[in-house]
């Protein structure tokens, strides 16, 4: 509580303090006397009133000042306790003297706040000044000590760095142990052996699996010449030249060689090596692996022979197809020419009817051969892609089919978010032409035709083209597997021949794309084409 200001004999800090200060200033003769007076009256409080009476303090203002100083003093006294406890418990704590200095500095700072609080009742201003002097001396000393050791402090690794190093070492040790185990097991299972050659000592160090690959016991000496002698003659020369290049030029190698075991059986191995150099660039060691690849190499050679055989058979089949197509076309052309030179007027009714059937069969045969020839050309030929515009190509097709579209009262909507495509022009025009032609051909009788053409990019940034109509649709449950088959038709129409979708599929797939269909009877059809753009 604030003292009662009505108590007598309490000097007022106004003119009384000023007069007293003036009197003291006049009576002080010199610095020495001032110092002596200061220290002799260090605890004397008669020359000042308590702080409550110097100025105008409200209860709130005064106690806010006092409580704040006391809390700061308490905190300042607790911090050194923790620091000193840390130094005592951790004997390896760096720079302990600096911690003691910091403790003294913090204690003195706290003491200043404590004295400031009690001056409200006990005006020991000389004691406060003396404590501040001590604080200043310790502060300057602490700053100087910190300046001296700062370079060494900066060299210390942080706790995080030490933890990171410990974790790294632990991880390295764990990985090393795991690697040793995996290497041993992988070498045994995968038939992979390691080796090292000391260039100075001219000495090889082979792993146990490497000895197994050579077909030797682990105590058998395999030196430079002995290692070469285990390979067949032609491969010895290759390996000898490779080792010379490694010595002279520091070139590594990765070879597939045939090795001869002590029982004279042969096996294929993969022999890999890499030279190692010291800081001066001198070759000191070679390291590598030797791997038993006999089973894989035999399969590879057998597969290569099979591929070559299939390639020859495919070439023969292509030649046979061309010969067959050519010969059949010759025969069909001859039949067609013979039918053209026959005078039908000279035939009786019975023979004329038979001749018309022969003529129709000849025409169909020519059409079939033309279709087959087109399919063969698509599958065998590669057309380079060219930059095309969907809009321009679609408009060209629409102009060509203008009559059929008008007769069908067709409405064609185009929405090409992606207008450019790299694709053979003749194929793109053929695809759009066949799709729209089918839409016209298989429209509903009592309903106008609506066709939508659109393009967009899918999630993989691949161009997609979609064709949608409201035509008769297709029952995919019945016809799904044969919808793109040759000569497969699903509706009765006089011009249906089952070639268009077959050609579209072959044209798209020849460029690496694909086509899918969604359809239901009387619900229309949607064709979705995924393009794979090629140059």
Q: Are 445 and 472 in contact (CB under 8 A)?
A: no
Question: How far is residue 5's CA from residue 341's CA, in Å, rounded to a whole number?
Answer: 147
The residue length of the chain stands at 535
Q: Which of 44-53, 183-192, 235-244, 343-352 has the lowest mean pLDDT?
A: 183-192
Q: Are 505 and 397 in contact (CB under 8 A)?
A: no
Q: Is the pLDDT of residue 133 over 90?
A: no
What pLDDT score does 9 carry? Answer: 43
Query: In the β-sheet with 463-469, what is the strand arrangement from edge to edge?
Result: 411-416, 450-457, 463-469, 525-530, 514-519
Q: Which DSSP symbol is given to 66?
A: H
What pLDDT score does 486 carry? Answer: 57
**What's the predicted TM-score (pTM) here?**
0.37
Question: How far is residue 418's CA from residue 396's CA, in Å, rounded to a whole number?
Answer: 18
**SS3 call for 459:** coil
Token digits of residue 532: 């794979």
Task: State how far the alpha carbon of 500 is from the alpha carbons of 363, 367, 446, 455, 483, in Å.
Answer: 19, 13, 25, 21, 11
Q: Is the pLDDT of residue 26 over 50?
A: no
Encode pLDDT of 211-229 as tens digits: 888 888 888 888 888 888 8
Q: Is the pLDDT of residue 116 over 90?
A: no
What pLDDT score does 506 carry? Answer: 81
Most confident of 152-156, 172-176, 310-314, 469-473: 469-473
What is the percent of the chain where pLDDT is above 70?
Answer: 76
Q: Are 386 and 425 in contact (CB under 8 A)?
A: yes
Encode pLDDT of 264-305 as tens digits: 888 898 888 888 888 888 888 888 888 888 888 888 888 888
Encode pLDDT of 468-500 as tens digits: 998 888 877 776 566 776 555 555 544 545 567
Q: Which residue, 300, 278, 273, is CA-closest to 289?
A: 273
What pLDDT score does 301 carry? Answer: 81
Encode pLDDT of 289-347 as tens digits: 888 888 888 888 888 888 777 777 666 666 555 555 555 656 666 666 666 677 667 77
Q: Where does the pLDDT of residue 521 fall: very low under 50, low under 70, confident under 90, or very high at 90 and above?
A: confident
Half-sphere exposure of 59 (CA within 13 A, CB side): 5
What pLDDT score does 333 carry? Answer: 67
Between CA 379 and CA 381, with CA 380 as vertex, the angle to 5 degrees is 100
Q: Where does the pLDDT of residue 467 fall: very low under 50, low under 70, confident under 90, or very high at 90 and above?
A: very high
Q: Which of 204-208, 247-251, 359-363, 432-436 has the lowest mean pLDDT?
A: 359-363
Q: Where does the pLDDT of residue 8 fall: very low under 50, low under 70, confident under 90, or very high at 90 and above?
A: very low
Q: Where does the pLDDT of residue 416 fall: very low under 50, low under 70, confident under 90, or very high at 90 and above?
A: very high
What pLDDT score does 365 carry? Answer: 62
Task: State how far the alpha carbon of 396 is from the alpha carbons of 4, 129, 399, 430, 436, in Å.
Answer: 109, 102, 5, 11, 12
Task: State how far the alpha carbon of 380 is from the alpha carbons of 311, 319, 373, 514, in Å.
Answer: 14, 12, 11, 18
Q: Is the pLDDT of residue 396 over 90?
A: no
What is the percent of the chain where pLDDT is above 90?
Answer: 6
Q: Is the pLDDT of residue 512 over 90?
A: no
What pLDDT score does 16 carry? Answer: 44
**CB within 8 A of 461, min separation 6: which ones?**
none
Question: How far is residue 133's CA from residue 108's CA, in Å, rounded to a whole number?
Answer: 10
Q: Quick one: average pLDDT of 511-535?
A: 83
**CB within 8 A of 229, min separation 6: which ones?**
236
Encode pLDDT of 62-96 as tens digits: 888 888 888 888 888 888 888 787 777 777 667 77
**SS3 call for 292:** strand
What pLDDT score does 391 carry? Answer: 93
Number of CB atoms found within 10 A of residue 44's CB: 15
Q: Is the pLDDT of residue 520 over 50?
A: yes
Q: Are 421 and 490 in contact (CB under 8 A)?
A: no
Please report which helix (H) or strand (E) contains residue 266, including its range.
strand 266-277
pLDDT, greater one: 187 or 132: 132
Q: What's the gap between Cα 430 and its chain centre? A: 40
Q: Which residue, 311, 309, 430, is CA-closest to 377?
A: 430
> Pairing relation of β-strands 463-469 and 525-530?
antiparallel
**SS3 call for 314:** helix
The residue assigned the tokens 């979705």 is 528
Q: Is the pLDDT of residue 397 over 60?
A: yes
Q: Are 430 and 391 in contact (CB under 8 A)?
A: no
């Amino acid at each position: 509580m604030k003292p009662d200001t009505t108590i007598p004999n309490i000097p007022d800090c106004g003119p009384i303090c000023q007069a007293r200060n003036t009197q003291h200033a006049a009576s002080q003769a010199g610095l020495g006397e001032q110092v002596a007076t200061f220290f002799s009256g260090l605890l004397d409080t008669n020359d000042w009133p308590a702080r409550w009476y110097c100025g105008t303090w409200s209860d709130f203002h005064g106690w806010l000042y006092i409580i704040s100083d006391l809390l700061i003093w308490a905190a300042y006294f607790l911090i050194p306790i923790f620091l000193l406890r840390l130094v005592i418990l951790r004997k390896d704590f760096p720079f302990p003297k600096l911690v003691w200095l910091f403790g003294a500095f913090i204690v003195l700072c706290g003491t200043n706040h404590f004295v400031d609080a009690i001056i409200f009742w006990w005006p020991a201003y000389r004691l406060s000044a003396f404590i501040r002097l001590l604080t200043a001396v310790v502060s300057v000393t602490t700053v100087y000590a910190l300046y001296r050791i700062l370079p060494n402090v900066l060299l210390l690794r942080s706790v995080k760095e030490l933890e990171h190093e410990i974790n790294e070492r632990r991880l390295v040790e764990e990985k090393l142990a795991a690697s040793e185990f995996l290497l041993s097991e992988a070498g045994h299972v995968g038939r992979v052996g390691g080796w090292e050659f000391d260039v100075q000592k001219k000495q090889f160090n082979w792993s146990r699996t490497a000895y197994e690959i050579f077909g030797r016991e682990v105590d058998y000496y395999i030196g430079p010449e002995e290692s070469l002698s285990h390979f067949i003659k032609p491969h010895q020369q290759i390996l000898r030249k490779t080792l010379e290049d490694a010595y002279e030029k520091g070139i590594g190698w990765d070879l597939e060689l045939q090795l001869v075991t002590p029982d004279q059986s042969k096996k294929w191995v993969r022999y890999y090596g890499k030279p190692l150099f010291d800081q001066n660039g001198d070759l000191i060691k070679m390291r590598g692996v030797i791997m038993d690849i006999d089973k894989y190499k035999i399969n590879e050679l057998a597969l290569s022979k099979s591929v070559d055989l299939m390639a020859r058979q495919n070439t023969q089949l292509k030649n046979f197809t061309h010969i067959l197509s050519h010969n059949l076309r010759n025969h069909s052309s001859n039949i067609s020419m013979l039918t053209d030179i026959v005078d039908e007027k000279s035939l009786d009714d019975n023979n004329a009817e038979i001749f018309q059937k022969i003529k129709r069969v000849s025409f169909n045969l020519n059409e079939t051969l033309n279709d087959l020839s087109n399919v063969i050309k698509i599958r065998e030929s590669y057309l380079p892609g060219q930059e095309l515009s969907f809009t321009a190509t679609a408009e060209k097709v629409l102009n060509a089919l203008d009559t059929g579209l008008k007769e069908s009262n067709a409405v064609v909507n185009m929405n090409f978010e992606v207008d450019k495509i790299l694709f053979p022009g003749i194929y793109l025009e053929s695809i759009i032409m066949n799709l729209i032609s089918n839409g016209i051909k298989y429209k509903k009788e009592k309903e106008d035709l609506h066709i939508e053409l659109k393009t967009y990019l899918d999630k993989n940034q691949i161009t997609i083209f979609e064709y949608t109509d409201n035509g008769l649709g297709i029952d995919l449950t019945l016809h799904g597997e044969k919808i793109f088959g040759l000569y497969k038709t699903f509706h009765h129409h006089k011009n249906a021949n089952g070639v268009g979708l077959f050609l579209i599929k072959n044209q798209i797939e020849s460029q690496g794309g694909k086509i899918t269909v969604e359809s239901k009877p009387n619900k229309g059809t949607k064709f979705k084409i995924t393009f794979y753009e090629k140059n």
